Structure 1
Amino acid sequence: MIATVIPIVRLPKHLGYFDYAMSKELVPLLRIGQLVSIPFRNSEHYGIVFSIQKKATPTEKEKELTSIVHEIPLVDANHLTLIAFMSTLYGVSPCTLLKMSLLPIQKSKIKKMHLEELPKKPSLTTATTSLHTYHTPQQQSETIQHLLQQSSASGQTLILVPEVHAIDETRSALTISQQEDTVVWHSTLTVKQKFERWLHIRNGEKHIVIGTRGSLLLPFFDLQRIIITEEHSDQHKHWDQAPRFHVKDICTLKKKPTHLLSYSPSIESYFLAYKKDIPHHKASEAHLQEPPTVIDLRSERAAHNYSCFSLSLEDRIREAEGDVFLFLNRRGFATSLGCQTCGFMNTCNTCALPTIYDQTKNILVCHYCKQQQSPVMTCPSCKDGMVRLRGVGTQLVESSLRTLLGEHHPHAVVRIDADIEDISYLPRQRPRMIVGTGKALSHIRWDRTDLIIFVDIDRQLAIPEYMATESVWHTMQQVQFRRLQSSTFYIQTRNPDHNFFQSLGDPDRLYREELHTRHRLAYPPYSYLVKYFFGHANQTAAADEAERVYELLCMALTKEKKPIRLHPPIAMHPFYYRKKYWYAILVKITPAEWQEHLQWVNTYIPPLWKIDPRPISILSP
């Protein structure tokens, strides 16, 4: 008998399954999913039994399995099948995925832990998807409560939240008895907490699980349904390292009833609901917020007002009594340094991106590769002295705000962006004026905030990404969802004719226009998008490798005649990042067949390439 085991260690993507011989004593005791001890590379490691095969005579290469650590399987065969399938979709070793889904292995506790026998036949469920939209936090709580009341008393419900800070809010929507039956899971738990809570979930001791995206990989005792809150959020995507999965795709693989909850549905979900592919449950619009007021900055410039704020907003800021939030998703003092005579723009020597001026340190810095330069007083190209700072960053808005308010104003002016690591100093008693990027959104006291200003979103709308407008729209809708009915909300722009601003009073217009554009370009939801990207220290080598793989895929597609569209290699942005030059190939797959075709394309992708299904950015490495 031969046991195929997945070691619980991180290994390269091409390694994952190892065969071990079994002693006669272990043959009748071994079961799929058991935790076992195995000899692996000169030491003992733990692993999970993936399969058991009959083989008359083991070869000399096959080492003997050491022992069974726990007689009751840690996971079932269905979980292992999912792990194996995901490894082919996301180009990672099953060892990596298995390690992500298991509890921390502690030798002192692992043999003593109590495991319930997993159900041989899990409760039957139908893989359905539904969309639930609402407009207030109260309606969100009512929607979650309604879905939980429909749950089976014996089964488990997973509530996915986009970020850790949203867990407490979601938990507060539950009754006291439901909270006692709830376990929370996220990456910042201690080893002890992960060990205990993992067992609560695996043994079915808790019926409600609230967690971030990683909790979707856990082995549940009897998962009945999945609720995805803020389904539009890009934080539901594991984007920064492999496996680069999106929770919606894993829900599809798990084949469980999935409920998408949102106050600002994603364009994909809107499309599915519009086509009536999924049911759409809408909350009452009785408490719908008034759309934000748009301020045209072109007239301000014509009146020689070059401040960060329009004249009318300056008055509103001075008169504010409660908290004020000024949003600008661009840190630094100025976003570029350039010459007014020849058009020269100062760029990073490493990645060629425009440098950002940091006033606090009086330096030019690149936020991607962290390179620093001293500001230049004359243009290095034409030697003219007409070098000027351009663009608006959070430091400039903060400085302008302090100048506008004066020294004795009662508000505390606070900046929150990626440059600020410690925000524990936030005053609790005094009213605040917070200048910040997206990082600040979770620190706003919405029940005290009277005035919200989007200082400049034109740059975000102009980013050459197909999801740029949708991303800004969701940020705006988040403010609409959180703010008080009595508060006021302003958006400054130099381009009020943009479809974004024209759709503030008619959201369907934005969705229709975005879908029309994506249909013409065959972008999601009209295709399933996959980004394959490769980096090398030598630019020519990176470009040649990208071209080689592209030609290989073209030949394979011509031969097999698959309904797949390829885009030629493109240079990524930033072009040079983490000491490598990056190129990407975009692949568009028929949505209904994405699993099959993704597996097929992956067979032609070399090991050093990165695989990113359903990317949230086309250009970023």
Structure 2
Amino acid sequence: MTKQLKTIVAQVIPLKRFPVKLACFDYVCPADIAKKIKVGALVEIPFRKGLFLGLVMNFFTTDEADSEQLKAISRIVADRPLYSDKQMAFLREISEFYLTSLGYLAKTSLPAFNKKQLKELAEVRPLKSAKTVGKKTNIFVKPNYFFYSTTNQIKDYLRENFNPRAQSLVLTPEINSANPDLLPCKLADQTVLISSALTKRSFFDSWLEVWIGRKNIVAGTRRSLFMPFTNLSDIYVLDEANPNYKSWDMAPRINIIQAVIFLALCHGARLHFLSHTPSVESYYFSDRQVYDSTGDLDADFATPTKLVDMRAERREHNYGFISGALVEAIKNCPNRDIFFFLNKRGTAGYVGCRDCGTVLKCLTCDNLYTYHEDINCLVCHFCQQKISLPKHCQHCSGLNMVMLGVGSQLAEKEIKKLLGQKENRQIIRIDSDNAGIFKIDPAVNHIFIGTQLAWNKVDWAQIGLVAFLDADTSLFVPQYNISETLFYWLRDAQYKLGAKGQLLIQTSHPDHLVFKSLNQPTKFYQSELTARKALGYPPFYFLLKLFYSDTDQTVGKIQADNVITLLKRLTLGKNDVIILGPMPSVPYFKAGKYTQVILCKIKYNNYKSITKTILRQLPAGWKADPAPNSILTI
């Protein structure tokens, strides 16, 4: 009997965007390549009529006869793998959990190698410190949560916990908040800063420094998760509750807090969460001792904070949005910058009829119109539909049309009118209409008027007064975590201002728990947890949002009904999963398509496995958003 010859076959991830289910392709390893190829190696592969780069994901052995139809790997680009086994495991975890193509994930995580850089990869030799250290992985190392109230406390914590002999990752929600001064001075020359703002060449240089082991500390945003770690010892997540850690507008919709838990598990690294105001979930896990915790959550920021009851302003016949207390606060802040914060750009938040209560909504997507005075028309901020301001109500024909709510353009106009020409201040509006086109005059003080986009564009060291002009705007949005988000921004303003600045909050609901708990955060968290437990929201259930869009409203509804049937069959008999929907998204119609949403509530004891099972069965065309920021908004 003839002995069958064996062939080694590599499963290679092409650095191209493919459907999720086409994660990798099989290629034969020629004898000379088979001797030295490893998981994570960068190889050149023939694909159709061209040659492409790919990452080796795995190997298997088969009979030579069974591999005759397979193409062979052309060459190994670099002898040393680009990613360790641990980092490859992390890539697979993110791909499966966020329903994202492995090829797309690898391509966007690695530098866009040109010929010169590929040659450099082949020739460069790693330092000894870059070698993979054999640590136990897939073992949960209990995270630590550190509550701070000053920047010096962050510095002290990092100085006491950094391990200079191993790799460390320091994550920030935005590159503007990546402050190298927080790290001990002696570690500055071991640190690289990573963000999407880097040029291709700068990113390659920084990536190479980590790959060869010259730099041990990576600081930056989401892109930092995918650096070539081989000996990752500690992960520090600064400002853990910041909403910007969740990617909502682009795939993959990664929740960074969730992803770092996967990363720590793959590497056996210790997680350190740091914040002045934790998320509700992290507070719960700290309180239940799932996390260790240090520091004082109830420490006072010492920021003078004033609540202004706008109902009292109305009783005094002040029907504008600038209270008497705010006018006085502006006068008492002559030598420092002022920041007016609001949630809406435009002139008025919405337009309606005072006679019948009808509010003008976009005919295309059913969202509220916002009035823009500079172009004298109503604009839908979802689908960009524009219409002229109507002279009468189309519902009741009444003439009592009014503009309600405060927009950034209206705020700018009224504040200029209030200050007049005598005030030597530059007024700067920062919102999505002009986020990158303003210039700051360093010779004068400033008044910034802005939405959330302005938060990290102002110099907080120069701010003497922050005013939330209309804090109620986000208070009654039907979203389970809206109170948490407002609570975070208010507390973040207190932290950034410190004792040298003042926070002024204008509200018609001064007795709301969000405002009453600013200096008693534990009170807020306990109340939120009671409500979320009753309603089945995090941290008691993990949320998985699934959605499908189609130009045909009926087709979308049929697709959603079919998936509901599929999910109920998959989870039959499982008491730890609740399936809700289908429900129309908000907006229901956007970019020419109708969208249906399904929400899965999964108990945390087995959420990862159940999430992957659901996503593996999801039909083509569906999108997933694990741990979404909002349930119905897309």
What is the TM-score of this pair, normalised by structure 1?
A: 0.95
Q: CA deviation at 1:573?
A: 0.9
2:442 aligned with 1:434: no
Task: Look up the match of 1:81.
Answer: 89
2:227 equivalent among 212, 218, 223 = 218
User: What is the DSSP-based 3-state SS (H/G/I as helix, E as strand, rest coil) of the residue aligned with 1:25?
Assistant: helix
CA deviation profile, 1:286-314 (whole Å, cap 9, x unmatched) = 76324621111111112211011112322
Q: Contact 2:308–2:325 (CA<8 Å) still a contact in 1?
A: no
Q: Contact 2:564–2:582 (CA<8 Å) still a contact in 1?
A: yes
Task: Look up the match of 2:17.
Answer: 10
Q: Contact 1:236–1:247 (CA<8 Å) still a contact in 2?
A: yes
Distance in 2 (CA, whole Å) between partners of 1:35 and 1:44 is 13
Distance in 2 (CA, whole Å) between partners of 1:416 and 1:424 is 8
Task: Look up the match of 2:548.
Answer: 534
User: What is the DSSP-based 3-state SS (H/G/I as helix, E as strand, rest coil) of the residue aligned with 2:314?
Assistant: helix
Q: CA deviation at 1:543?
A: 1.8
2:478 aligned with 1:464: yes
1:36 equivalent among 38, 43, 47 = 43
Q: In structure 2, give the amino acid aligned to 1:157.
A: S
Q: 1:267/1:612 Cα in 2 relative to 1: closer, same or farther (>3 Å)?
A: same
Task: Look up the match of 1:521.
Answer: 535
Q: CA deviation at 1:581?
A: 1.1
Q: CA deviation at 1:60?
A: 4.4
Distance in 1 (CA, whole Å) between partners of 2:436 and 2:29 is 55
Task: Look up the match of 1:122.
Answer: 134
Q: Contact 1:449–1:484 (CA<8 Å) still a contact in 2?
A: no
Q: CA deviation at 1:138?
A: 2.1
User: What is the DSSP-based 3-state SS (H/G/I as helix, E as strand, rest coil) of the residue aligned with 2:500?
Assistant: coil
Q: CA deviation at 1:608?
A: 0.8
- Following superposition of structure 1 onto structure 2, how do residues 150-169 of structure 1 map, counting pairs within 5 Å? 151=163, 153-167=164-178, 169=179
Distance in 1 (CA, whole Å) between partners of 2:166 and 2:562 is 50
Q: CA deviation at 1:49?
A: 1.8
Moved more, 583-592 or 261-270: 583-592
2:583 aligned with 1:573: no
CA deviation profile, 1:298-352 (whole Å, cap 9, x unmatched) = 1111221101111232233244302221111111101112122222222112111
Task: Look up the match of 1:361.
Answer: 375
User: What is the DSSP-based 3-state SS (H/G/I as helix, E as strand, rest coil) of the residue aligned with 1:26?
Assistant: helix
Q: CA deviation at 1:145?
A: 2.1
2:226 aligned with 1:202: no
User: What is the DSSP-based 3-state SS (H/G/I as helix, E as strand, rest coil) of the residue aligned with 2:273?
Assistant: strand
User: What is the DSSP-based 3-state SS (H/G/I as helix, E as strand, rest coil) of the residue aligned with 2:111?
Assistant: coil
User: What is the DSSP-based 3-state SS (H/G/I as helix, E as strand, rest coil) of the residue aligned with 1:201?
Assistant: helix
Q: 1:484/1:430 Cα in 2 relative to 1: closer, same or farther (>3 Å)?
A: farther
What is the TM-score of this pair, normalised by structure 2?
A: 0.93
Q: Contact 1:572–1:584 (CA<8 Å) still a contact in 2?
A: yes
2:354 equivalent among 340, 354, 358 = 340
Q: 1:200/1:305 Cα in 2 relative to 1: closer, same or farther (>3 Å)?
A: same
Distance in 1 (CA, whole Å) between partners of 2:571 and 2:529 is 28
Q: In structure 1, give the amino acid aligned to 2:168.
A: T
1:265 equivalent among 255, 260, 278 = 278
Q: 1:496/1:283 Cα in 2 relative to 1: closer, same or farther (>3 Å)?
A: closer
Distance in 2 (CA, whole Å) between partners of 1:592 and 1:291 is 43
Q: Contact 1:203–1:221 (CA<8 Å) still a contact in 2?
A: no
Q: In structure 2, give the amino acid aligned to 1:160.
A: L
2:418 aligned with 1:404: yes
User: What is the DSSP-based 3-state SS (H/G/I as helix, E as strand, rest coil) of the residue aligned with 1:343?
Assistant: coil
User: What is the DSSP-based 3-state SS (H/G/I as helix, E as strand, rest coil) of the residue aligned with 1:270?
Assistant: helix
User: What is the DSSP-based 3-state SS (H/G/I as helix, E as strand, rest coil) of the residue aligned with 1:586?
Assistant: strand
2:248 aligned with 1:248: no
Task: Look up the match of 2:503.
Answer: 489
Q: In structure 1, give the amino acid aligned to 2:408.
A: T
Q: Contact 1:308–1:400 (CA<8 Å) still a contact in 2?
A: no
Aligned length, in residue pairs: 615
Q: Contact 2:428–2:438 (CA<8 Å) still a contact in 1?
A: no
1:591 equivalent among 604, 621, 628 = 604
Distance in 1 (CA, whole Å) between partners of 2:34 and 2:327 is 79
Q: Contact 2:143–2:270 (CA<8 Å) still a contact in 1?
A: yes
Task: State the identity %.
Answer: 31
Q: 1:30/1:58 Cα in 2 relative to 1: closer, same or farther (>3 Å)?
A: farther
Distance in 2 (CA, whole Å) between partners of 1:532 and 1:309 is 42
Task: Look up the match of 2:3.
Answer: none
CA deviation profile, 1:346-402 (whole Å, cap 9, x unmatched) = 211211111100011111111111111111112222222222212111111111111
User: What is the DSSP-based 3-state SS (H/G/I as helix, E as strand, rest coil) of the residue aligned with 1:304?
Assistant: coil
Q: CA deviation at 1:418?
A: 1.1
Q: Contact 1:36–1:47 (CA<8 Å) still a contact in 2?
A: yes
Q: In structure 1, give the amino acid aligned to 2:77.
A: V
Q: Contact 1:362–1:375 (CA<8 Å) still a contact in 2?
A: yes
Q: CA deviation at 1:520?
A: 0.3
Q: CA deviation at 1:586?
A: 0.9
Q: In structure 1, give the amino acid aligned to 2:313.
A: E
Distance in 2 (CA, whole Å) between partners of 1:534 and 1:572 is 10
2:243 aligned with 1:229: no
- Following superposition of structure 1 onto structure 2, how do residues 16-55 of structure 1 map, counting pairs within 5 Å? 16-55=23-62
Distance in 2 (CA, whole Å) between partners of 1:79 and 1:449 is 42
2:606 aligned with 1:606: no
Q: 1:442/1:66 Cα in 2 relative to 1: closer, same or farther (>3 Å)?
A: same
Q: Contact 1:13–1:607 (CA<8 Å) still a contact in 2?
A: no
**Runs of at least 5 residues in structure 2 that lack an aligned partner in the other structure:** 1-6
User: What is the DSSP-based 3-state SS (H/G/I as helix, E as strand, rest coil) of the residue aligned with 2:230?
Assistant: coil
2:421 aligned with 1:413: no
Moved more, 196-205 or 123-132: 123-132
1:137 equivalent among 141, 151, 170 = 151
Distance in 2 (CA, whole Å) between partners of 1:28 and 1:324 is 66
Q: CA deviation at 1:423?
A: 4.4
Distance in 2 (CA, whole Å) between partners of 1:121 and 1:181 is 19
Q: CA deviation at 1:261?
A: 0.3
Q: In structure 2, give the amino acid aligned to 1:103.
A: P
Q: In structure 2, give the amino acid aligned to 1:67.
A: R
Task: Look up the match of 1:317.
Answer: 330
Distance in 2 (CA, whole Å) between partners of 1:108 and 1:177 is 33
Distance in 2 (CA, whole Å) between partners of 1:285 and 1:457 is 23
Q: Contact 2:352–2:358 (CA<8 Å) still a contact in 1?
A: yes
Q: 1:562/1:384 Cα in 2 relative to 1: closer, same or farther (>3 Å)?
A: closer
2:120 equivalent among 112, 118, 127 = 112
Q: 1:62/1:493 Cα in 2 relative to 1: closer, same or farther (>3 Å)?
A: same
Q: Contact 1:366–1:372 (CA<8 Å) still a contact in 2?
A: yes
1:90 equivalent among 98, 104, 119 = 98
Q: Contact 2:560–2:582 (CA<8 Å) still a contact in 1?
A: yes
Task: Look up the match of 1:102.
Answer: 110
CA deviation profile, 1:87-108 (whole Å, cap 9, x unmatched) = 2211122112222332222222
Q: CA deviation at 1:31?
A: 2.6
Q: In structure 2, give the amino acid aligned to 1:455.
A: L
Q: 1:109/1:486 Cα in 2 relative to 1: closer, same or farther (>3 Å)?
A: closer
Task: Look up the match of 1:479.
Answer: 493
Distance in 2 (CA, whole Å) between partners of 1:49 and 1:284 is 46
Q: Contact 2:487–2:518 (CA<8 Å) still a contact in 1?
A: no
Distance in 2 (CA, whole Å) between partners of 1:183 and 1:115 is 19
User: What is the DSSP-based 3-state SS (H/G/I as helix, E as strand, rest coil) of the residue aligned with 1:483?
Assistant: helix
Q: 1:53/1:422 Cα in 2 relative to 1: closer, same or farther (>3 Å)?
A: closer
